[in-house]
Amino acid sequence: MNNIEQELRDKGLDAPRLTPDMIEAIIKHEQYHVFDGSMLTVCNLTLMNGFNVVGESACASPENFNEQIGRKVARADAVKKIWAFEGYRLKEKLLPHETDDMLVLRLKAADKYNDLPAGTKALLERDDLS
């Protein structure tokens, strides 16, 4: 457990939140690639739902390039992005949820509904999502 997680527990801050273990648990697969002739390392994390999150690491000095360190930095960059996505998802669950009907009305009022892709409109208009 990291220091921040321990501090939260010590202070009794136990409202719904993300934890490092929760983030790690949704990572299904990881892949790395170093581009030929470069010091750019890319990490692709595939999440349990199939979504991919990419992180990168670039070394400025060739003398300092180390593939294992590049992998660690690139993975940390991708994991940081997962925190943002999962934080958004948790916040959505904690708020009173706007129905799809309310969203459609808001988009139409803003003259943005007609600009949506057909697939998005079809998804919003499905009856089985309510």
State the average pLDDT for the chain.
Answer: 87
Q: What angle do CA 89, 91, 97 make, to 5 degrees?
A: 90
What single-letter amino acid sits at 30?
E
Of residues 129 and 24, the one with the higher pLDDT is 24
How far apart (Å, rounded) are the C-alpha atoms in residues 55 and 31?
11
| Residue 107: pLDDT over 70 | yes
How far apart (Å, rounded) are the C-alpha atoms in residues 59 and 90?
34
Res 87: pLDDT: 93
Instruction: Tell me the percentage of the chain whose pLDDT exceeds 90.
Output: 54
If DSSP codes are grouped into helix, strand and coil, which group holds residue 120?
helix
Longest dimension (CA), the chain: 59
- Mean pLDDT throughout 27-35? 98
Q: Which of 4, 86, 17, 12 is nearest to 47 (CA)?
A: 86
How far apart (Å, rounded) are the C-alpha atoms in residues 90 and 130?
19
Q: How many CB atoms lie within 10 A of CB 53?
A: 20
Res 130: pLDDT: 46
Instruction: Tell me the percentage of the chain whose pLDDT exceeds 70.
Output: 92
